[in-house]
Amino acid sequence: MSFRAPVRDLAFALQTVGHPALLARVFPDLDADTVRAVLQAAGGFVEAELAPLNRRGDIEGARYENGRVTAAPGFAEAYRAFAAGGWNSLSADPGFGGQGLPKALELAVFEMVHAANMAFGLCPMLTQAAIEALSQHGTERQKRLVLPRLVSGEWTGTMNLTEPQAGSDLAALTTRAEPDGAGGFRLTGQKIFITWGDHDVADNICHLVLARTPDAPPGVKGISLFLASKRLVNEDGSLGGPNDLRPASIEHKLGIHGSPTCVMLYEGARAELVGELGQGLPHMFVMMNAARLQVGVQGVAIAERAFQQALAFAQERRQGRAVWSGDYPAPIYAHPDVRRTLMLMKAKIEAARAICLTTGVLADLARLAETQEERAAAGARQELLTPIAKAWSTDVGVEVASLGVQVHGGMGFIEETGAAQHYRDARIAPIYEGANGIQANDLVGRKAPMADGAVVRELCAEMLLTAQTLTDTEELAKLGRRLAQGAAALEHATDWLLAHRGPDALAAATPYLKLAGDVIGGWMLGRQALAAAGSPDPWLKGKAALARLYASQVLAQAPALADGLMDGAEDLEATAAEALTG
Rounded Cα gap, residues 39 and 110, in angstroms: 10
- What CA–CA distance (Å, rounded) separates 319 from 337? 13
Average pLDDT, the chain: 96
Name the residue among 99, 170, 96, 104 with its Cα closest to residue 130.
Answer: 96
Measured N-to-C along each axis, helices 118-137 and 280-316 cross at an angle, to the nearest 10 degrees, of 160
Instruction: Judge whether 351 and 399 are in contact, CB under 8 Å.
Output: no
Residues 324 and 335: beta-carbon distance below 8 Å = no
The total number of residues written for the chain in this structure:
582
Quick one: pLDDT band at residue 167, thresholds 50, 70, 90? confident
Q: What is the pLDDT of residue 168?
A: 86
Higher pLDDT, 128 or 577: 128
**Interatomic CA distance for residues 164 and 123, integer angstroms:** 23
d(C-alpha 241, C-alpha 258), whole Å = 28
Domain at 7-141: CATH architecture: Orthogonal Bundle (1.10)
Q: How far apart are CA 431 and CA 25, in angstroms?
A: 37
Q: Work out the average pLDDT over 210-224.
A: 95
pLDDT at 156 over 90: yes
Q: Residue 329 above 70 pLDDT?
A: yes
C-alpha separations of 314 from 59, 309, 408, 541 in Å: 25, 9, 7, 22
pLDDT at residue 185 greater than cutoff 70 = yes
Dihedral angle at the C-alpha atoms of 318, 324, 328, 331, nearest 10 degrees? Answer: -10
CATH architecture observed for domain 156-278: Beta Barrel (2.40)
Task: Report the range of poorest mean pLDDT among 24-28, 104-108, 150-154, 216-220.
Answer: 24-28
Q: Reply yes or no on whether the pLDDT at 180 is more than 80.
A: yes
Asked whether residue 581 carries a pLDDT value surpassing 90, the answer given is: no
pLDDT given for residue 23 in this prediction: 78
Q: How far apart are CA 521 and CA 393, in angstroms?
A: 10
Q: Is 433 one of the catalytic residues? A: yes
Residue 1 in this model has a pLDDT that exceeds 90: no
Count how many Cα atoms sit within 13 Å of the Cα of residue 120 in the half-sphere of its side chain.
33
- Beta strands 176-179 and 223-229 are unpaired
Is the Cβ–Cβ distance between 462 and 496 less than 8 Å? no
Q: Is the pTM of this model over 0.75?
A: yes
Instruction: For residues 392 and 379, give the distance between their C-alpha atoms in angstroms, rounded to a whole number.
Output: 20
Q: How far apart (Å, rounded) are the C-alpha atoms in residues 83 and 47?
A: 16
Render pLDDT for 278-309 as a digit per residue (tens, 0 to 9): 999 999 999 998 999 999 999 999 999 999 99
Least reliable range by pLDDT among 424-428, 531-535, 549-553 = 531-535
pLDDT over 80 (residue 22): no
129 sits in the region (left: phi over 0; alpha: psi -120 to 50; else beta) called alpha
Per DSSP, the three-state class of 204 is strand
Instruction: Name which of 27-41, 184-198, 300-314, 511-525 the model is least confident about.
Output: 27-41
In the prediction, which pLDDT does 559 show?
98
Neighbours of 374 (CB within 10 A): 16
CA–CA gap between residue 58 and residue 82 (Å, rounded): 20
CA distance 349 to 9: 10
Confidence band, pLDDT 50/70/90 cuts, at residue 109: very high
Helices and strands, counts by H and E, the chain:
22, 11
Average pLDDT value for residue range 408-428: 97
Residue 254 is predicted with a pLDDT of: 98
Q: What is the 3-state secondary structure (H, E, C) of 236-249?
A: CCCEEEECCEEEEE
Evaluate the omega torsion of the peptide bond into residue 6 and state whether it is cis, within 30 degrees of 0.
no
CATH architecture of 436-573: Up-down Bundle (1.20)
Catalytic residue among 433, 458, 474, 578: 433
Name the residue ranges covered by the structural domains of the chain: 7-141, 156-278, 436-573
Q: How do residues 338-356 score in pLDDT, each as one tens digit?
A: 999 999 999 999 999 999 9
Amino acid letter, 322: A
Asked whether 159 and 187 are in contact (CB, 8 A), the reply is no
Residue 25: predicted pLDDT: 81
